[in-house]
Chain A
Amino acid sequence: SAVISQKPSRDICQRGTSLTIQCQVDSQVTMMFWYRQQPGQSLTLIATANQGSEATYESGFVIDKFPISRPNLTFSTLTVSNMSPEDSSIYLCSVRDQGQPQHFGDGTRLSIL
């Protein structure tokens, strides 16, 4: 399966600032996704990152808060904008190829002070 690298692995940020998380895959993949994982809750899909076009956001998530880029088939970024303590969470990148289940990176652990 693809090797997925996420940067940074963790960060502590001040409220009102923004952080960009990078996801790099070692091979071209069809689909890339961004999830949020909060304690005691299931993984929540934020959006599907589409190569060369705007991401597809799930209900409750908007582009102004979580802008996403996917310039090619191996790389995507998620920005968490104007952060508040409620944004403290683990953010996970996942990838999927044709007919295969999703595989995940190790996540970015984000704390907002």
Chain B
Amino acid sequence: QKEVEQDPGPLSVPEGAIVSLNCTYSNSAFQYFMWYRQYSRKGPELLMYTYSSGNKEDGRFTAQVDKSSKYISLFIRDSQPSDSATYLCAMGSGGYQKVTFGTGTKLQVIP
């Protein structure tokens, strides 16, 4: 079993939809959680990071962590075609040094 599981998609949604992206993990030692966005031919770009269970909001993006279920989510409200990218979850322990990444979910927002 992989430490981090992420559905590769692709996920296609109409413009304006609410998008839910998810990852599950098996390592109880993970303490912090991140979401990266990766456009084609670009490197991963940090979107959000959080230490704790619960929700963290930044504009149209909400990161949700449920440590008891070992489940994290990224919600995108009012999705835009510019949100079309691959979204990578990442998590780690011990001060951000050792990070485990999901395989990424490819999202396409259709105008």
Residues of A within 8 A of B (CB): 1, 4, 6, 31, 40-43, 45, 48, 92, 96, 99-107, 109
Q: Does B46 contact A (CB under 8 A)?
A: yes
A102 to chain B, nearest CB (A): 6
A52 to chain B, nearest CB (A): 18
Q: A31-B97, A101-B96, A102-B96 are in contact. Are A43 and B8 (CB under 8 A)?
A: no
Q: A41-B103, A42-B104 are in contact. Are A106 and B97 (CB under 8 A)?
A: no
Cβ–Cβ contact A102 & B103, under 8 A: no
Q: A31-B97, A43-B88 are in contact. Are A103 and B46 (CB under 8 A)?
A: yes
Please give, as numbers and ranges, the residues of chain A lying within 8 Å of B102 by CB-CB distance.
42
Please give, as numbers and ranges, the residues of chain A lying within 8 Å of B45 by CB-CB distance.
104
By beta carbon, the residue of chain A nearest B102 is A42
A103 to chain B, nearest CB (A): 6
Binds A, one of B36-44, B62-70, B72-80: B36-44
By beta carbon, the residue of chain B nearest A58 is B98
Chain A contact residues, majority secondary structure: loop
Q: A42-B102, A42-B104 are in contact. Are A106 and B88 (CB under 8 A)?
A: no
B72 to chain A, nearest CB (A): 14
Please give, as numbers and ranges, the residues of chain B lying within 8 Å of A41 by CB-CB distance.
103
Q: A42-B4, A92-B43, A107-B43 are in contact. Are A102 and B104 (CB under 8 A)?
A: no
Please give, as numbers and ranges, the residues of chain A lying within 8 Å of B41 by CB-CB distance.
106, 109
B64 to chain A, nearest CB (A): 18
A40 to chain B, nearest CB (A): 6
B96 to chain A, nearest CB (A): 6
From 11 to 69 in chain B, residues with beta carbon under 8 angstroms from any chain A beta carbon are 32, 34, 36, 41-46, 49
* 7 A-B residue pairings within 8 Å (CB atoms): A31-B97, A42-B88, A43-B88, A45-B98, A48-B97, A104-B36, A104-B43
Cross-interface CB contact of B43 among A1, A31, A40, A105, cutoff 8 Å: A105
Interface centre among B32, B96, B102, B103 (most CB of A within 10 A): B96
Q: Does B95 contact A (CB under 8 A)?
A: yes
Interface centre among A31, A48, A102, A109 (most CB of B within 10 A): A102
